[in-house]
Structure 1
Amino acid sequence: MAQATRTTTLLVGFPAGSGVDYVARLLADRLQQVLNRTFIVDNRVGASGRIAMEQLKRAPNDGSVLAVVPSGMLSIFPSFYRKLAYDPLKDYTAVAKFCDYHMGLASATTAPYKTLPEFLEWAKRNPANYGHPGMGTAPHFTGYLLAQDAGVKLQDVSYRGGPQLTQATIGGEIALAANLSGTFRELAKGGRIRLLAVTAPQRSPTTPDVPTLAELGFPNGVVQENIGLLAPVGLDRALVAQLADAVRQVAAEQAFQEKLQVGDYSSAYLDGAAYVGLTTNAQARWAKVIERSGFRADE
């Protein structure tokens, strides 16, 4: 990136220690080596990640500022927020997608059900709820889709974030929890919660004994989200190509893949054009789900 500034800031709209932050720091470390330049992760937390997106929109298009972005901010937010201050497809340059992840559904070990089918039968006879880390998130709509497809009534309970949801799950405050599978995996292995199902298209290699919603009879429950790299609109095409090629190299590295897997993420590269196509399709899917659900934010 000889034509651009030698230091690049990677904006992350979530706190240090969060899943997106973890992935961004892995990427920054390797891009630093591949491109021989400095990458700094800058956590601009607030408004469910929208503050970072708005900052990227205003950033200079010289390669000095990029953002590591989870797909919900591009595919769910445009339909969920009435006054979104950015257009995911017009206000940014899609560099590449490099990471996939899925949701998990978990319960307390003290719950009177040990499998998802048992939970659904229990929910037909008892007042039931599900918790998620925030309205308008993929976990929120994962629980909604399950309730619709299974024909059960589940009251949604929104928590302030993942840590609060996890504690509520362990303590049995909620009947079912929906969040990124990686937040539940080690707790389930340690016997502190039960991981009942995942939303991946196939069983995850990190939790091979946990069934998918699709195999349990809920194909609409396939929720495969992603993380990608965005730049301000108008970034020089040569710089975009150089960045995309570097991301492709990093995504192919075994060491990078293994570190992603620690958080239950998987390496999955798409170039900018394919990334835009994937986002466009996801927007169409989530727009229908959100319209049917009636969940909208007044913001």
Structure 2
Amino acid sequence: MHSRTLALALLSVAALAQGGSARAASDYPAHPVKIIVSLPPGSGADTTARFLSKHLAERFKQPFVVENRPGGNSFIAAQAVATAPPDGYTLFVASNSPMTTNAAVFKNLPYDAVKDFAPVAPIARFPMALVVPANSPYRSVADLVAAARAAPGQLNFASGTATYQVVLELFHEQNGIKATHVPYKGTSAALADVAGGVVQYSVADVSAALPLIRGGKLRPLAVTSTRRIKDLPDVPTMQESGNKGFEAYAWTAAFFPAKVDPAIVARVSDAVQALVRSQEGKAFMEQLGGEPFVGGPDTLAAFQRDELASMRRIAKLANIQQE
């Protein structure tokens, strides 16, 4: 075959492939789509997924059905998505844990948090609060840092998840302090022991800590967002408290399995972004104690890459590793 003929043939094949992809995307979805969540019903990620599913169903005229796959450090849900057919009918509403934290702290991860997934769009982010018991002598971040520096390794801190542990180790690194980690199997248990004075401090989503703060059991020293939040207007940010550049959030975002048709990714991403930008979306996220996290696939991919690099650095520095 002459080179000109071969080139024309290859162009024809490419055009046919693109045409088929466009038709598949325009027909999508032709049947119900599964949304997998790694946390149980009632969790923030679950509530977000159900809000998203309602609006995607209205937009695409097909059911988007939430399926909870909790447990196993989010391995179960992440593997279910990673090994699903790349046809656009399995969507992952994920949080930090399966998409960045696990890759930073687990030695043997049964999936690749980057290569096995196609970023769709971020959805929401939730600031955290650094908290101490209500009767603690520490009334500011400066007080806590001074006490930790005066007695290296003597203060105890609680974490309900590996994400919170990494965030606190970042705080320790930035302030040149050392403290003893006390792990818990969940945020509620960790905060309960901080409130009871069993451990000296912790960090958690504001929404999780707020009931104990309002109940007079916990004292918030700072929030991890870049600006003060509506629910705690008198509580300074970590940056206001002397921690330059400190910013940390829990977050939710949508991912497909890797190799889903980019045209399908784009269609769903556009729908998610439209909801996140809407007044209804903003009001919903504020009700959960969060804020809209706006962006498309490239924004989410870059964010995931940067957070993963930061978490790996801190995990290595603090020797955080799980099997």
With the length of structure 1 as denominator, give the TM-score of the two structures.
0.92
Whether the aligned pair in 1 keeps the contact of 2:74 and 2:97 (CA below 8 Å) is no
Task: Give the secondary-structure state (helix, strand or coil) at the position aligned to 1:82.
Answer: coil
Counterpart CA distance in 2 for 1:141 and 1:113 is 22
User: Which structure 2 residues correspond to residues 135-154 of structure 1 after superposition, within 5 A?
Assistant: 136-137=162-163, 139-154=164-179
Pick closer, same or farther for the CA change 1:291–1:121 going to 2, 3 Å: same
CA deviation map 1:213-258 (0-9, x unaligned): 1221123532134311011122122221111111011112212211
User: Which structure 2 residues correspond to residues 1-299 of structure 1 after superposition, within 5 A?
Assistant: 2-125=27-150, 127-134=154-161, 136-137=162-163, 139-219=164-244, 221-298=246-323
Calculate the aligned-residue CA RMSD, in Å.
1.9
Counterpart CA distance in 1 for 2:296 and 2:45 is 20
Counterpart CA distance in 2 for 1:157 and 1:23 is 30
Task: Give the secondary-structure state (helix, strand or coil) at the position aligned to 1:178.
Answer: strand
Counterpart CA distance in 2 for 1:220 and 1:77 is 24
Q: Return the offset for 1:124.
A: 4.0
Structure 1 unaligned segments of length 5 or more: list them: none
CA deviation map 1:140-194 (0-9, x unaligned): 1121122222233311111110121222222222110111122112432342321
Counterpart CA distance in 1 for 2:248 and 2:97 is 11
The residue type equivalent to 2:69 in the other structure is: R
Whether the aligned pair in 2 keeps the contact of 1:81 and 1:297 (CA below 8 Å) is yes
The residue type equivalent to 2:73 in the other structure is: S
How many residue pairs were aligned? 296
Counterpart CA distance in 2 for 1:169 and 1:22 is 27
Identical pairs, percent:
24
Counterpart CA distance in 2 for 1:192 and 1:33 is 42
Q: Name the residue aligned to 2:4.
A: none
Whether the aligned pair in 1 keeps the contact of 2:29 and 2:60 (CA below 8 Å) is no
Whether the aligned pair in 2 keeps the contact of 1:5 and 1:64 (CA below 8 Å) is no
Q: Return the offset for 1:109.
A: 1.1
Name the structure with the higher strand share: 1
Q: Return the offset for 1:271.
A: 0.5
Task: Give the secondary-structure state (helix, strand or coil) at the position aligned to 2:241.
Answer: coil
Structure 2 unaligned segments of length 5 or more: list them: 1-25
Counterpart CA distance in 1 for 2:191 and 2:65 is 30
Whether the aligned pair in 2 keeps the contact of 1:6 and 1:37 (CA below 8 Å) is yes
Counterpart CA distance in 1 for 2:48 and 2:244 is 28
Counterpart CA distance in 2 for 1:3 and 1:141 is 39
Counterpart CA distance in 2 for 1:13 and 1:7 is 20
Structure 1 outlier segments of 4+, above 4 Å: none
Whether the aligned pair in 2 keeps the contact of 1:145 and 1:220 (CA below 8 Å) is no
CA deviation map 1:57-114 (0-9, x unaligned): 1112222211101134222322311111222221111111121222211122122222
Task: Give the secondary-structure state (helix, strand or coil) at the position aligned to 1:270.
Answer: coil
Task: Give the secondary-structure state (helix, strand or coil) at the position aligned to 1:234.
Answer: coil
CA deviation map 1:248-273 (0-9, x unaligned): 11112212211211221111221011
Task: Give the secondary-structure state (helix, strand or coil) at the position aligned to 1:104.
Answer: strand
Task: Give the secondary-structure state (helix, strand or coil) at the position aligned to 1:196.
Answer: strand
